[in-house]
């Protein structure tokens, strides 16, 4: 991801990020949170490169979400790709997922007065796959109905992984690692993408008294997240749990 334009920067530290962002508090900035293992990010990085050429007065900052975790956490980055548009330190808009048209339109709207380069055309990435879409909570669902639905999801097979994205297209590093861990240990499991159902996403936090994802369920009961599962695998305890 080498920069060919003076307005496109690869963020190397929190200090580097703050220095770039604070240089001009009237300037429009685009933050591109990405991860090298996420295929949609590769497509959108090309879009961001073209936007940098099209809007040379807009500050474009590429932030690798996991290596710059403090920055990602400060912007509540839970999945990549994610784009944040700022003016100075003021939030203007967030764009989630590999949606090139939406990102292009959003930047064009907020960069009004920023003259685009007349010869540059923004590359269009494919429309987002279903895993890139976050759906609103189901309407008119009682707490009891939600509880039954969550328990049914937890009981759909012996091992169920509630994760961000899918095993083939994970949307966060922890989900990617725990999926790989299960595969490496030849564990058969089903998965549920919590980014597609906000009601289940929030409900499971309360039901299992576990605030983060991924959550691994074995025989209808919470085992834990990545760290706990990794420890159990290393100690040999996990093989007994899933037996």
Q: What CATH number should be reported for the domain holding residue 232?
A: 3.40.30.10
Residue 17 within a domain: yes
Question: Does residue 28 sit in the same domain as residue 115?
Answer: yes
Q: Which domain holds residue 140?
A: 132-241
Question: Does residue 53 sit in the same domain as residue 38?
Answer: yes
Residue 2 within a domain: no
Predicted pLDDT of residue 113: 54
Predicted pLDDT of residue 141: 75
Residue 3 within a domain: no
Total domains in the chain come to 2
Instruction: List, for residues 199-230, the tens digit of each pLDDT value.
Output: 999 999 999 998 888 999 999 999 999 889 99
pTM here?
0.56
Question: Does residue 118 sit in the same domain as residue 14?
Answer: yes
The last residue of a domain, from among 85, 106, 125: 125
Question: Does residue 203 sit in the same domain as residue 116?
Answer: no
Question: Does residue 233 sit in the same domain as residue 179?
Answer: yes
Question: Does residue 15 sit in the same domain as residue 50?
Answer: yes
Token code pair at residue 104: 């292009």
Residue 118 within a domain: yes
What's the CA gap between 182 and 65, in Å, rounded? 24
Are residues 185 and 224 in contact, defined by beta-carbon separation less than 8 angstroms?
no
Q: Residue 196: pLDDT band by 50, 70, 90 thresholds?
A: confident
Residue 37 within a domain: yes
Question: Does residue 178 sit in the same domain as residue 121?
Answer: no
Question: Does residue 183 sit in the same domain as residue 85?
Answer: no
Residue 68 within a domain: yes
Predicted pLDDT of residue 116: 44
Question: Does residue 86 sit in the same domain as residue 159?
Answer: no
Token code pair at residue 66: 């996991």
Question: Does residue 36 sit in the same domain as residue 90?
Answer: yes
The last residue of a domain, from among 104, 125, 146: 125
Indicate the SS3 state at residue 131. helix
Instruction: List, for residues 84-114, the tens digit of each pLDDT value.
Output: 999 988 889 999 999 999 999 999 999 875 4
- Alpha carbons within 13 angstroms on the beta-carbon side of residue 77 total 28
Question: Does residue 89 sit in the same domain as residue 181?
Answer: no
Q: Residue 140: pLDDT band by 50, 70, 90 thresholds?
A: low
Instruction: List, for residues 22-60, the tens digit of each pLDDT value.
Output: 888 889 999 999 998 888 999 999 999 999 999 999 999
Question: Does residue 231 sit in the same domain as residue 146?
Answer: yes
The last residue of a domain, from among 78, 98, 125: 125
Q: Residue 163: pLDDT band by 50, 70, 90 thresholds?
A: very high
Predicted pLDDT of residue 171: 82
Token code pair at residue 192: 């549920």
**H/E/C letters for each residue in 71-92?**
HHHHCCCCCCCEEEEEECCEEE
Instruction: List, for residues 61-73, the tens digit of each pLDDT value.
Output: 999 998 888 888 8
Indicate the SS3 state at residue 17. helix
Query: Using DSSP, how many helices (H) and how many strands (E) does the chain show?
Result: 9, 9
Predicted pLDDT of residue 216: 97
Instruction: List, for residues 171-194, the tens digit of each pLDDT value.
Output: 888 888 999 999 999 999 999 999
Helix locations, the chain, DSSP H:
14-22, 39-54, 69-74, 100-110, 143-154, 173-184, 198-207, 226-235, 237-241
């Amino acid at each position: 991801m080498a920069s060919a334009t003076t307005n496109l920067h690869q963020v190397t530290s929190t200090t580097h990020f703050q220095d770039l962002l604070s240089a001009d508090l009237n300037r429009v900035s685009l933050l591109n949170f990405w991860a090298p293992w996420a295929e949609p990010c590769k497509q959108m990085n090309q879009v961001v490169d073209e936007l940098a050429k099209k809007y040379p007065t807009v500050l474009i900052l590429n932030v690798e979400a996991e290596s710059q975790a403090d920055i990602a956490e400060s912007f509540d980055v839970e999945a990549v790709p994610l784009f944040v548009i700022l003016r100075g330190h003021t939030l203007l808009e967030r764009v989630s997922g590999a949606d090139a048209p939406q990102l292009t339109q959003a930047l064009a709207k907020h960069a009004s007065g920023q003259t685009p380069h007349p010869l540059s055309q923004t590359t269009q990435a494919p429309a987002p796959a279903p895993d890139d879409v976050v759906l609103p909570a189901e309407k008119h669902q009682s707490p009891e109905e939600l509880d039954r639905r969550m328990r049914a999801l937890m009981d759909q097979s012996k091992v169920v992984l509630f994760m961000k994205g899918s095993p083939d297209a994970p949307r966060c590093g922890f989900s990617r690692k725990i999926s790989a861990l299960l595969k490496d240990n030849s564990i058969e499991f089903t998965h549920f993408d919590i980014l597609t159902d906000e009601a289940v996403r929030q409900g499971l936090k309360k039901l299992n008294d576990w605030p983060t994802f991924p959550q691994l369920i074995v025989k209808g009961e919470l085992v834990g997240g990545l760290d706990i599962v990794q420890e159990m695998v290393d100690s040999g305890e996990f093989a007994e749990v899933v037996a």
